[in-house]
Structure 1
Amino acid sequence: MHWRTKGLVQKVLGLHPAGAGLHYRLQCRFGGLTDFSRELATKIEDWTIMVGHLRAAGMPLAGTRMVEIGTGWYPTFPLACHLAGAARVTTFDLTRHLRPELLRRCVHELGGFIDTIATAAGVDGEEVRARHVDLRAAIDAGAGLEEATGGVVRYCAPADATRSGLADGEVDVVFSNSVLEHVPPDVIRAMYRESRRILGARGLMFHSVNCGDHYAYVDRRISQLNYLKYSDRAWRFWNNAFLYQNRMRAHEFVDLALECGFRITLDTSTTRPQRLRELAEVRVHPRFAHVPAEQLCITSIDLIAEPAA
């Protein structure tokens, strides 16, 4: 599909009263929900990467109090954290995407990842398996997410993660996966400040950001740097309610965290030769002229930040 076709379809759906329902059906037929099993496996792979980074930073999952920003269609990360023994996971989403049929399928298919979850988190596999048996039985009996997890996972949507309602210092980890690239910069700043408030003195903030042009996933004729061609005004036309992209570069997520009172302990951003070659083929708009090519071409970053003293 041509990326402009996708953009226009989503633009129209975002303006239609029934657009959310139509968008969900299109996602099931043509989009990210067409191959649920593959998508779930990818999310679990991302989860294991996050857990590895957190453990390396001295933050085990067992007994941890966590906040997720951006739940999505189904709560893979919160449920995997629950199975690994997290004490509490509060997950926020601006829009209520979660659907019972997707939740049930997610729970069922997580049964195939028991060993992966246990190994990644460094916990006993039988404990993970026992939690999954209880979780699956509760979901199959009609329980909601919070009830099925014994109160561990709390789903807040529609909700504003910049006003979490949580107490100062009551959280150990705030995290997101492929979310911040879809959030306006001023809102990211507010999220960081709220994270700084609710994190304990030894808490951590983890974000994995995919800051390339997401239209490239549906149109192989363009690269993940394609959207750097456009002015802010032109890009506003292609942004829409279902695929907003802020076009922030990797270093800007780090700079904002520093501005909001964090110290960076992990920054995986890397300049890759392939991206430099792709950038050379893009007529970059003057709006990005101040960014060195080595930074402009980076399309992903995992970062960990801790409250500065």
Structure 2
Amino acid sequence: MNHKSKTVLFKCLDVLPKQFGFYLYHKLQELFAKDTIDYKIESTRKSLETISRILDRNGFELKNKHIIELGSGWLPILPYLLKYDSNANRVDTYDINKHYKLSEIVKLNVLFSKKYGVPSSAFEGVFQLPKDIRYFPYTDICNGNFINADLVVSRFVLEHIPLESIIKIHETFRKKLKSGSYIVHLISPSDHRAYSDDSISLYDFLKYSNEEWDRIQTKFDYHNRLRLPQYLQLFEKDFEIVSLEFDSCKEGSEQHRKFKKLKINELYKNYSDEELTAGSIAVLLKVR
């Protein structure tokens, strides 16, 4: 499905009552889903390898730690890997929506039971989760319990949160997290429509004004379009930026060719090409 068709579809869902709109959205996600659970696990494992490498380099071990996840997504894969691969003590995962589906979690449990020898009795509650993994749907993380938390992680979540909410969330982190604890964000600041439609650039949405972009996107595919310097300015206000990694669009590549053909909106006129195309951001923050 190209990006124009997807936009029309999401616009139709967006005018429906919220509960019914999300119900149909979930059904469409199931219908068009191409990635297997095994693929999702391996993809998430690569993210965890990045997180672990950055933390290890800074003397932080995930073992026996209390971790908070910002944005639960569709399956508790990262919490499971943190628990069973990295031996975290506890993972609390918060989401403003509720996307977990029991039937999919049961499939995940079967896979992890086989791989790690976890007995079926270890999974309990409404969502059949291990007792050390706690799910908080429909919950603003700002209302979460941060007592004794050692680390906050997010995986491709920040780009889907409005700037005002990101600021509020990080103000909460600064107030509630103990000094010396860490926050690690993996951020995908590219135009996600290009993931399923290679006719457009990963930076296509930078040609729009805020008003134009808001007429295109919906709550189902929201992207704040923040660029790397904007994230860093927000973070360095209250935290020490301990580590920063990102990729930039390589000159001569197909994506660079597409990018250079764009008429970038004046909103972004003060940023360099590297700053505009910075992707795969991995940033580690330390609470002062």
TM-score scaled by length of structure 1:
0.85
| Superposition map of 1:101-112 within 5 A | 101-110=103-112
1:272 aligns with 2:249: yes
Greater Cα offset, 35-44 or 242-251: 35-44
Once the two structures are superposed, what CA deviation does each residue of 1:95-125 show, in whole Å capped at 9, x if it has no partner?
Answer: 011110111122223457x5xxxxxxxxxxx
Work out which of the residue numbers 143, 152, 166 in structure 2 matches 1:174.
152
Greater Cα offset, 157-166 or 210-219: 157-166
Where 2:219 maps in the other structure, the secondary structure is: coil
Displacement of 1:297 after TM fit?
1.3
Matches of 1:85 and 1:235, distance apart in 2: 42
Q: Could you say which residue in structure 2 is the equivalent of 1:55?
A: 56
Where 1:176 maps in the other structure, the secondary structure is: strand
Displacement of 1:276 after TM fit?
4.0
Q: Could you say which residue in structure 2 is the equivalent of 1:89?
A: 91
Letter in 1 for 2:156: S
Once the two structures are superposed, what CA deviation does each residue of 1:194-222 show, in whole Å capped at 9, x if it has no partner?
Answer: 12223222211000000000000111101
Letter in 2 for 1:101: S
- Mark the CA change 1:80 to 1:212 in structure 2 (over 3 Å): closer, same or farther: same
Letter in 2 for 1:249: R
The answer to whether the 8 Å contact 1:162/1:187 transfers is: no
5+ residue gaps, structure 2, are: none
Q: Could you say which residue in structure 2 is the equivalent of 1:244?
A: 222
Displacement of 1:148 after TM fit?
4.3
Letter in 2 for 1:268: E
Letter in 1 for 2:97: T
The answer to whether the 8 Å contact 1:205/1:304 transfers is: yes
| Superposition map of 1:41-80 within 5 A | 41-80=42-81
Matches of 1:47 and 1:158, distance apart in 2: 25
| Superposition map of 1:120-139 within 5 A | 129-130=116-117, 133-134=118-119, 136-139=120-123
1:209 aligns with 2:187: yes
Work out which of the residue numbers 136, 160, 175 in structure 2 matches 1:156.
136
Q: Could you say which residue in structure 2 is the equivalent of 1:125?
A: none
1:192 aligns with 2:170: yes
5+ residue gaps, structure 1, are: 115-128
Letter in 2 for 1:305: L
Greater Cα offset, 215-224 or 22-31: 22-31
The answer to whether the 8 Å contact 1:211/1:249 transfers is: yes
Displacement of 1:85 after TM fit?
1.9
Displacement of 1:44 after TM fit?
1.9
Where 1:155 maps in the other structure, the secondary structure is: strand
The answer to whether the 8 Å contact 1:40/1:106 transfers is: no
TM-score scaled by length of structure 2:
0.91
Where 1:162 maps in the other structure, the secondary structure is: helix
Displacement of 1:279 after TM fit?
2.0
Displacement of 1:239 after TM fit?
1.4
Displacement of 1:15 after TM fit?
2.5
Matches of 1:257 and 1:159, distance apart in 2: 23
- Mark the CA change 1:110 to 1:250 in structure 2 (over 3 Å): closer, same or farther: farther
Q: Could you say which residue in structure 2 is the equivalent of 1:12?
A: 12
The answer to whether the 8 Å contact 2:146/2:177 transfers is: no
Matches of 1:148 and 1:277, distance apart in 2: 46
Where 2:242 maps in the other structure, the secondary structure is: strand
Where 2:284 maps in the other structure, the secondary structure is: strand
Identity %: 24
Displacement of 1:137 after TM fit?
4.1
Q: CA RMSD of the aligned region, Å?
A: 1.9
The answer to whether the 8 Å contact 1:263/1:307 transfers is: yes
Greater Cα offset, 286-295 or 67-76: 286-295
The total of aligned residue pairs comes to: 282
1:100 aligns with 2:81: no
